[in-house]
C-alpha cells in the first residue's frame, strides 16, 4: 500500500484526527465503556473458565465470523467513500457508502437471527455470567451499529444531494470515524467472546 | 481547541448520544420489569395487609431514621431484614414500648399504632425481608 | 445587568439563602442527636429534623436554579422575560408552600400531616426526599410548569444560545423526572426502582445540565473567553454526564431486588461517572487561565473554580469510592453514603448556586462587584465552609469505614447501635466541623451587608 | 483514482485473512495458551490496521494515537494476563 498511502495520511499541517474533534471525545468515552466491559469479561472469565468455555460452545461461531467479515467490509467501503470524496468523486463516494450501509444492515440481519435463536431458547441477561457478558457486550455493540448506520444513511443522503466535496467533507469524516470505532470494538469482541478458549 | 471542533457537531453528538443512552436505559428497564416477578415476592401483595403495612411505614416516615434495603437515614437500624433478625413479636413489642427514655440515648417516638396497624406493618416487613436482594446485607445485623 | 426583568432573580436568591440557613441549623440539630440521642426529643425527633434538612436543601437549590434561570435567560436571549409578574407570583407561592410544609413537619406528627393532606387518596409521602405532602408535590409541579412556561416563551422569542438550550433542557428534565414522585407502587422493588428515576436522574442526570449551563454562563462573563469555546466544552461535559449517568443509575440497583446484571452494568458505567466531573474541573481552570480580562469579582471566580474541584472530589472521587458492587456490598447504607452525599451536594450544587449568586447579586444591586472588604469576607466564607465540608466528609468516611468493619466485615458482627457507640468520636468531630461550617455561612451572609458600595 | 487497487484494499484483504485464520482456529478446536496468544495477536494486528488506516490515525497527534492504540493494547493485555491467571 505504497502509492495510495498518501490518501490516508493527513495532508500536511493537519495534526488532528479526521473529522470533528467532538466525535473523538465521544469515541474515547465509548471506548472507555467498552474497555471496562472487556476487562471485566477477562477477569470474570478467569474465575469461571469452565463455565465460559462450555457456554462459548453454544454460540454460533460462523455467524460471528460472517459478521466480522461484514463489518470489516463495511468499514473498508466507508474508508473508500471518504477517500473518494477527498478526490471530489462524489458519485463513487456515494456508491461506496451505499455498499458500506448494505454490509452494516447485513450485520444486523445476521445478528438478529442469532439473537432470535438465543431468545427463543430463553436466554437472557440473567441466564449466567457468560450470557450476561455476551448480551451486554453484543447488544450494546448492536445498538452502536444501529446508530452508526443512521449516521451513514445521513452521510449518504447528504452526499447524494452534493453536500460534500473535495474541499468540504469534514462531516463525512466525522461520521466515518464513529463507524470505524464500531468496527474496532467488534474486532476485539469477536475473538474474545466467540473464539478464545 | 482546533477549528475542526464545531459547536454544532458537539451539540448533535450530545443529542444523539443522549437519545441512544436513554433508549439503552429503557431497554434495560423493560428487561428488568420482565425479570422482577422472579425476585420481588409480588405474590405476597395479594395479602392486603402488605400494602396496608407499607402505608403505615410511609405515613410514619420510618425512612427518616431507618434504612430499608439500605436506603434511607443512617440513624437507626436497617429494617429490610428486621423480620429475620428479631421476629414478629419482638417488632410489635418494641414499637409499643417506645420511647425508652434512657437519658442520652437515641429515642424513637411512640406512634400509637393500633393492633391492626402493627400486624400490617409486620406483614410488610416480612414481605420486604423475603425480597431477593442478592444476599445483601452481608450479615443479619444489617 | 442588561435587562430589567432579570431583577426577579433577586427574591429567589434571597429565599434560597434563608432556606440554606434553616438547612444548616437543622443539620446541626441532627448532628448532635447522633451523639446526644435525646436532644430536643420529643419536640423535634430525628426524622423531622432530617426532613427539614434535606427538603430545605432541595427547595433552596431549586430556588437557586430558578433564580439563575431568571437571571440568565433574558440576558442570553437578549430580551425581557416573558412575564416578570408571573415569576414573582410563583416565587411567593413557592416560598409559602415550602414554609407551610416545614411548619407542617414541625407542628404535627407526620402521620397527622399525612392524614390532613389526604395522603390516602394518592399516597406519595414517606419516601426519602419525597416526604412532602401530595398537595405540596402538586404545588411544586404547578410552580415548575409556570416557571418553564415563562422561560420557554422568553427563549422562543429571543436569541437561542447553547447555554439557554442546555439550561432549559435541564429544567424541563427536572420537572418531567419529578413526575415519577407520584409513582408509588405497593411493590417495594418497583417503588424503589422508579424512586431513583427522580433522585438519581436528577442529581446525576438533568441537574448536571443545569450545573454545566450555570458554570458556563458565569465563566463566559468573568473570563471573557469566546462563547464558542465555552459552549463546546459545555456540550462535551454534559454528553459525558448523560452517557455515564443514565445507565450509571444501575449503581442503585444492586441490592433492592432488581436483577443481578445491574451489579455489572451499574459498576461499569458509574465507574466512568467521575470523567465528566474531571472534565468540568479542567474546564473551569482552563477557562480561568485563558481569561481575557480581570473581572473585579474575584469571589465569583473563586466559587466557580471551587465548584470544579469540589464537585470532582465529592461526586467523582467519593462516588467512585463505593460505586463498584463488591465494595458497595459492604458500604451500602452506611456513613460512607452520607459522606459522599454531603460533599457531592455541596461541591456540585450548593457551590454552583453560590457561584451564580456571587456573580449576579452585586450586579442586581447596581455594581460590577462588591468592595474589596466585602469580597474578602465572602472568600473567608468560601474557605470556612469548603474546608469544613472536607472535614465533615473525612470524619463521616472515618465513621463509615469503622462502621463497615465492625458491623459488616467482622466475623463476629456487632449490632447497629453497638457499632454507633463505637464511632461516636467521629460524630463529635463532625458536629464540631459543622459548627465551623455554620460560622462560615454566617461570615458569608455578613459579606452581603459589608459596605459593598465602595466598589471598584 | 489512478490505480484501481488502493492501500485500503490491501488492508481489507489483510483483515479478511486475519478473520479467516481466527475462525479456523476456533473451528478446528484449537485451545490453550499458544492459540490464545495467536488469537489476541491477530486481533491486535487487525485492530491496529483499522486504527491506522481506516480511522486514519497514522500521522496525527501522538496523544490521539496513544489513546486509541493504548486502548487496544490495554484491553488485549489485560485479557492475556487474565487468561494466564485463569487457565
Cell of C26: 437543622
Confidence of residue B2 (pLDDT cuts 50, 70, 90): very low
CA A33, A34, A35, A40 torsion: positive or negative? positive
Backbone angles phi, psi at C332, to 5 degrees: -55, 125
For helices B7-35 and C162-178, give the axis angle rounded to 10 degrees: 10
Contacts of A22 in chain B (CB under 8 A): 5-6, 9-10, 13
Render pLDDT for C23-45 as a digit per residue (tens, 0 to 9).
999 999 999 999 999 999 999 99
For helices C162-178 and C46-77, give the axis angle rounded to 10 degrees: 150
C66-75, C83-92, C339-348, D20-29: lowest mean pLDDT where?
D20-29
* C450, C374 Cβ separation under 8 angstroms: yes
Confidence of residue A180 (pLDDT cuts 50, 70, 90): very high
Asked if D23 lies within 8 A of A61 by C-beta distance, the reply is yes
Whether the per-residue pLDDT at C195 is higher than 70: the answer is yes
B3 touches chain A (CB under 8 A): no
Mutate to test the interface with B, among C189, C204, C247 (most CBs of B within 10 A): C189
Domain C212-456 matching CATH 3.20.20.60: the answer reads no
Confidence of residue A10 (pLDDT cuts 50, 70, 90): very low
Whether the per-residue pLDDT at B4 is higher than 80: the answer is no
Which contiguous run of DSSP H or E holds residue C212?
Answer: helix C207-223
Contacts of C271 in chain A (CB under 8 A): 36
CA atoms of C371 and C450, how far apart (whole Å): 8
Render pLDDT for C46-73 as a digit per residue (tens, 0 to 9).
999 999 999 999 999 999 999 999 999 9
Contacts with C, B 52-81, CB within 8 Å: 54-55, 57-65, 67-78
Whether the per-residue pLDDT at A8 is higher than 60: the answer is no
Closest CA of chain A from C268, distance in Å: 6
Contacts with A, B 13-42, CB within 8 Å: 13, 16-17, 20, 23-24, 27, 31, 34-35
* D82, A45 Cβ separation under 8 angstroms: yes
Name the E strands within C26-100.
Answer: none
Q: Where are the alpha helices (DSSP H) in C272-316?
A: 274-289, 298-311
pLDDT of residue A5: 36
CA atoms of C187 and B44, how far apart (whole Å): 9
Asked if C269 lies within 8 A of A33 by C-beta distance, the reply is yes
Contacts of D67 in chain A (CB under 8 A): 28
pLDDT of residue D4: 53
pLDDT of residue C285: 94
Closest CA of chain A from D13, distance in Å: 9
Contacts of B17 in chain A (CB under 8 A): 26
Whether the per-residue pLDDT at A7 is higher than 80: the answer is no
Share of chain C above pLDDT 70, in %: 99
Render pLDDT for A27-47 as a digit per residue (tens, 0 to 9).
999 999 999 999 999 999 999
Contacts 24+ apart (CB under 8 A), A127-130: A128/A51, A128/A55, A129/A44, A129/A48, A129/A51, A129/A52, A130/A45, A130/A48, A130/A51, A130/A52, A130/A55, A130/A56
Residue A151: count of CB within 10 angstroms of its CB: 21
**Domains present along chain A, CATH in parentheses:** 66-197 (1.20.120.80)
Q: Can you give the length of chain D in residues?
A: 87
Whether the per-residue pLDDT at C456 is higher than 70: the answer is no
Asked if C250 lies within 8 A of B28 by C-beta distance, the reply is yes
3-state helix, strand, coil in chain C (%, to 5): 80, 0, 20
Closest CA of chain A from B44, distance in Å: 23
Q: In the complex, which subunits touch D with 3 or more CB pairs below 8 angstroms?
A: A
Contacts of B13 in chain A (CB under 8 A): 22-23, 26
Contacts of A126 in chain C (CB under 8 A): 259-261
* Domain ranges, ordered by start, for chain C: 1-157, 212-456
pLDDT of residue C153: 97
Share of chain B above pLDDT 90, in %: 93
pLDDT of residue C339: 97
Residue among C47, C265, C413 whose CB faces B61 most closely: C47
Average pLDDT, chain A: 91
Render pLDDT for C94-152 as a digit per residue (tens, 0 to 9).
999 999 999 999 999 999 999 999 999 999 999 999 999 999 999 999 999 999 999 99
**pLDDT one digit per residue (tens) for chain D, 87 residues:** 344 567 899 999 999 999 999 999 999 988 889 999 999 999 999 999 999 999 999 889 899 999 999 999 999 999 999 999 887
**pTM (2 d.p.):** 0.90
Confidence of residue A3 (pLDDT cuts 50, 70, 90): very low
Report the SS3 class of residue B71. strand
- Provide mean pLDDT across the span C178-199: 97
If you measure CA to CA, which chain A residue comes closest to D32?
Answer: A197
CA atoms of C201 and A41, how far apart (whole Å): 28
Q: Where are the alpha helices (DSSP H) in A48-60?
A: 49-56
C339 preceded by a cis bond (ω within 30 of 0): no
Amino acid at each position: 500500500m505504497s502509492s495510495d498511502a498518501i490518501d490516508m495520511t493527513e495532508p500536511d499541517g493537519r495534526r488532528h484526527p479526521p473529522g470533528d474533534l467532538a466525535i473523538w471525545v465521544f469515541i474515547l468515552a465509548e471506548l472507555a465503556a467498552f474497555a471496562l466491559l472487556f476487562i471485566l469479561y477477562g477477569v470474570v472469565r478467569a474465575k469461571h473458565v469452565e463455565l465460559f468455555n462450555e457456554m462459548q460452545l453454544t454460540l454460533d461461531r460462523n455467524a460471528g465470523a460472517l459478521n466480522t467479515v461484514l463489518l470489516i467490509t463495511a468499514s473498508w467501503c466507508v474508508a473508500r467513500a471518504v477517500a473518494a470524496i477527498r478526490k471530489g468523486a462524489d458519485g463513487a463516494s456515494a456508491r461506496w457508502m451505499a455498499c458500506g450501509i448494505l454490509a452494516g444492515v447485513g450485520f444486523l440481519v445476521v445478528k438478529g437471527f442469532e439473537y432470535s435463536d438465543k431468545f427463543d431458547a430463553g436466554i437472557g441477561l440473567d441466564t449466567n455470567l457468560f450470557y450476561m457478558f455476551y448480551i451486554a457486550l453484543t447488544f450494546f455493540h448492536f445498538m452502536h451499529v444501529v446508530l452508526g448506520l443512521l449516521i451513514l444513511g445521513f452521510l449518504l443522503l447528504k452526499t447524494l444531494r452534493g453536500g460534500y466535496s473535495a474541499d468540504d467533507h469534514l462531516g463525512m469524516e466525522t461520521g466515518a470515524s464513529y463507524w470505524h470505532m464500531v468496527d474496532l470494538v467488534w474486532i476485539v469482541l469477536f475473538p474474545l467472546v466467540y473464539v478464545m478458549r | 481547541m482546533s477549528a475542526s471542533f464545531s459547536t454544532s457537531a458537539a451539540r448533535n453528538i450530545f443529542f444523539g448520544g443522549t437519545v441512544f443512552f436513554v433508549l439503552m436505559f429503557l431497554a434495560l428497564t423493560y428487561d428488568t420489569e420482565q425479570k422482577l416477578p422472579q425476585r420481588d415476592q409480588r405474590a405476597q401483595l395479594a395479602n392486603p395487609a402488605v400494602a396496608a403495612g407499607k402505608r403505615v411505614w410511609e405515613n410514619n416516615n420510618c425512612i427518616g431514621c431507618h434504612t430499608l434495603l439500605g436506603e434511607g437515614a443512617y440513624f437507626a437500624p436497617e429494617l429490610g431484614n428486621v423480620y429475620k433478625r428479631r421476629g414478629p413479636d419482638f417488632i410489635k413489642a418494641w414499637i409499643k414500648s417506645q420511647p425508652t427514655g434512657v437519658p442520652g440515648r437515641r429515642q424513637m417516638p411512640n406512634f400509637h399504632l393500633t393492633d391492626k396497624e402493627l400486624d400490617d406493618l409486620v406483614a410488610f416487613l416480612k414481605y420486604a425481608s423475603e425480597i431477593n436482594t442478592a444476599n445483601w446485607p452481608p450479615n443479619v445485623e444489617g | 445587568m442588561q435587562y430589567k426583568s432579570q431583577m426577579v432573580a433577586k427574591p429567589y436568591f434571597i429565599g434560597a439563602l434563608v432556606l440554606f440557613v434553616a438547612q444548616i441549623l437543622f443539620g446541626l440539630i441532627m448532628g448532635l442527636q447522633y451523639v446526644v440521642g435525646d436532644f430536643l426529643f420529643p419536640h423535634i425527633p430525628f426524622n423531622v429534623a432530617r426532613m427539614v434538612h434535606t427538603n430545605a436543601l432541595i427547595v433552596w437549590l431549586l430556588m437557586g436554579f430558578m433564580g439563575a434561570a431568571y437571571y440568565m435567560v433574558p440576558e442570553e436571549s437578549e430580551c425581557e422575560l416573558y412575564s416578570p409578574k408571573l415569576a414573582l407570583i410563583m416565587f411567593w407561592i413557592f416560598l409559602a408552600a415550602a414554609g407551610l410544609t416545614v411548619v407542617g413537619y414541625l407542628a404535627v406528627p407526620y402521620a397527622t400531616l399525612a392524614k390532613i393532606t389526604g395522603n390516602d387518596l394518592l399516597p406519595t409521602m414517606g419516601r426519602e426526599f419525597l416526604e412532602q405532602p401530595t398537595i405540596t408535590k402538586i404545588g411544586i409541579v404547578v410552580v415548575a410548569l409556570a416557571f418553564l412556561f415563562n422561560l420557554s416563551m422568553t427563549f422562543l422569542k429571543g436569541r437561542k444560545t447553547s447555554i439557554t438550550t442546555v439550561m432549559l433542557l435541564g429544567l424541563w428534565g427536572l420537572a418531567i423526572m419529578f413526575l415519577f414522585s407520584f409513582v408509588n407502587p405497593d411493590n417495594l422493588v418497583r417503588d424503589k426502582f422508579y424512586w431513583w428515576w427522580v433522585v438519581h436522574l436528577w442529581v446525576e442526570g438533568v441537574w448536571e445540565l443545569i450545573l454545566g449551563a450555570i458554570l458556563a454562563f458565569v465563566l463566559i462573563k468573568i473570563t471573557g473567553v469566546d462563547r464558542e469555546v465555552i459552549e463546546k466544552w459545555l456540550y462535551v461535559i454534559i454528553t459525558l454526564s448523560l452517557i455515564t449517568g443514565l445507565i450509571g443509575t444501575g449503581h442503585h440497583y444492586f441490592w433492592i431486588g432488581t436483577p443481578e446484571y445491574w451489579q455489572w452494568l451499574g459498576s461499569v458505567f458509574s465507574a466512568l461517572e467521575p470523567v465528566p466531573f474531571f472534565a468540568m474541573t479542567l474546564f473551569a481552570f482552563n477557562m480561568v487561565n485563558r481569561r481575557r480580562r480581570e473581572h473585579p469579582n474575584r469571589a465569583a471566580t473563586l466559587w466557580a473554580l471551587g465548584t470544579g474541584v469540589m464537585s470532582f472530589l465529592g461526586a467523582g472521587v467519593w462516588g467512585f469510592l463505593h460505586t463498584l458492587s463488591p465494595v458497595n456490598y459492604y458500604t451500602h447504607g452506611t456513613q460512607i453514603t452520607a459522606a459522599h452525599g454531603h460533599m457531592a451536594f455541596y461541591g456540585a450544587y450548593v457551590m454552583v448556586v453560590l457561584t451564580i449568586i456571587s456573580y449576579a447579586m452585586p450586579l442586581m444591586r447596581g455594581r460590577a462587584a462588591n468592595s474589596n472588604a466585602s469580597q474578602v469576607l465572602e472568600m473567608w466564607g468560601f474557605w470556612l465552609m469548603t474546608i469544613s465540608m472536607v472535614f465533615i466528609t473525612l470524619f463521616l468516611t472515618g465513621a463509615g469505614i469503622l462502621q463497615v468493619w465492625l458491623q459488616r466485615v467482622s466475623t463476629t458482627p456487632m449490632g447497629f447501635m453497638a457499632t454507633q457507640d463505637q464511632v461516636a468520636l467521629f460524630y463529635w468531630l463532625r458536629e464540631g466541623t459543622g459548627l465551623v461550617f455554620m460560622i462560615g455561612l454566617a461570615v458569608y451572609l455578613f459579606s452581603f451587608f459589608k459596605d459593598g458600595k465602595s466598589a471598584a | 483514482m489512478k490505480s484501481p487497487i488502493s492501500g485500503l484494499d490491501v488492508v481489507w484483504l489483510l483483515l479478511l485473512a486475519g478473520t479467516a485464520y481466527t475462525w479456523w482456529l476456533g473451528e478446528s478446536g484449537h485451545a490453550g495458551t499458544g492459540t490464545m496468544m495467536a488469537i489476541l495477536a491477530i486481533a491486535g494486528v487487525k485492530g491496529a490496521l483499522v486504527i491506522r488506516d481506516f480511522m486514519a490515525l497514522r500521522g496525527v497527534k501522538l496523544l490521539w494515537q496513544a489513546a486509541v492504540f493504548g486502548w487496544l493494547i490495554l484491553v488485549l493485555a489485560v485479557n492475556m494476563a487474565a487468561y494466564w491467571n485463569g487457565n
